[in-house]
Structure formats: structure tokens, C-alpha cells
Amino acid sequence: MRFENKVAVVTGAGRGIGRAIALRLASEGASIACVSRTIENATRVADELNAARSDSARSYSVDVANHREVQTIGTEILEDFQRMDILVNNAGITRDALSMRMSVEDWDLVIDTNLRGAFNFTQALERTMIKQRSGRIINISSVIGLIGNAGQTNYAASKAGLIGFTKSLAKELASRNITVNAIAPGFIVTDMTGALSEEVQKSIASRIPLGHVGQPADIANAVAFLASADAGYITGQVLCVDGGIVMM
């Protein structure tokens, strides 16, 4: 129970990697603020957590790209839980297209959700961590932010930006005993990747040194480590959880 009496906010908690992170942190005692674009998804996961441990989770709905609304939700979360220990900026989307065909709207939507969203939630909650002189901020980036990918210039830019954001924020907050790190998942089985054909998925798996794709639990395990006291001397780092694909 490494996170007993700790409070964690997980954005994009309604499904996939975010849900797995919420479940993992809750399994070790954390109370969870489940944040999703839709209240239905957030509530479903919060109910799942509360079924295992009464009143351990609450649900919140917000567009992470909307700065004003995120500040309001941040205030609500702090009123509900009275403290803040772990922030996992996981919310993210894709809108893939070759750069010559990509609409400005799709560029802005991905940047605003994936990058601005992390800034918005961090700004809403970091003051409380600073006052506590403790905290963990974990940003979910992607190996695409490190190596790029054709047809994903918007996504790659947002995830690479998140790495720069992580390193700069780590320098700002280190004196307050707050660590800031990023996780760069490789190919993880989610609803998003499930839309790919079986042939494409096999092709991707063949390029992974470990020979298989990852699961949401693999990312949740890494988050639990970086959120724990065991990672207290680690900050400003990018942890690739990718089966080794970035080595290639």
C-alpha cells in the first residue's frame, strides 16, 4: 500500500492506459480523481474503484484543453480531497494525416489536448504540491515524440513538446521536493491501436525487439514506480516502456 493516504489525479482515466493507471494506483491505496472528457467514462471507472474500496474515487468531466474549465475542476478536486500528491497527465488524442493534407483544426486539436492539457492541469494543481513541499507529476508522452512517424506530425510535435515541458518543469519544482518525469509508451494495445488492421499490428510487433506489443498495465506499472518513494531521486527523465523499439 505505497500510496495509502495519497491523492492522485489521472486525466484520460475513462479507458485504456488511463483506466489501468487509476486501477493500479488505487490498488496500492491511493484515492483517485478520475478525469475524462465524458462523465460517463469517468464515472464508470470511479464506480469500479469504489466497488473495491468504498469512497476511494470521484469522477470529473472536462475538456483538458480548456484552461478556464480545468482551473475550475482543479479547485473542485482540491475541495473534495484536501490535498494533492500525484498528477498523471495522460489525456491524449490522435488525428493522423500527412502534413500536406492535415487540417489546421486537426493540428490545433491534438496540440491543445496533448500538450496544453498537461500545462492546464499542472497549473491548476502545482501550487498545492508546492505548499506541501512534495508531489509527483508524471506526463505520458510517446516514443513517437522521440523518433517521429509519418502521418503524425501533430501527435509527434505534441509528445516531443511534452518531454521539453517535463524537463523544464522538473527544474522549476525540484527545490520543492516535487519530481516531474515522462513515460514514453511504445505500441500499447488500446482502443486507439485496436482500430489498426491485424496485418499492421503484426508488422509493428515484428519490429519490437521483445517480439510483442505492450499492455496498458505495463504503463501503469511504470507510473506506480515513478509515483512511489522508490523514485524519489529521479526527476526530469523520460522512461521508454516500448519493448526496446526506440533502440532500433
Active-site annotation, residues: 155
The one-character DSSP state at 160 is H
For the record, the C-alpha cell of 141 comes out as 508522452
**Sequence-ordered alpha helix ranges (H) in the chain:** 16-27, 39-52, 67-81, 104-111, 117-132, 144-147, 153-173, 191-194, 198-206, 216-227
Q: How far apart are CA 9 and CA 35, in angstroms?
A: 7
Those residues with Cβ within 8 angstroms of residue 169's Cβ, 6 or more apart along the chain or in another chain: 122, 137, 180
For residue 29, the Cα-to-chain-centroid distance in whole angstroms is 19
Contact 186, 245 (CB under 8 A): yes
Q: How far apart are CA 98 and CA 162, in angstroms?
A: 21
Q: How far apart are CA 125 and CA 129, in angstroms?
A: 7
Sign of CA dihedral 197, 198, 199, 203: positive
Contact 113, 89 (CB under 8 A): no
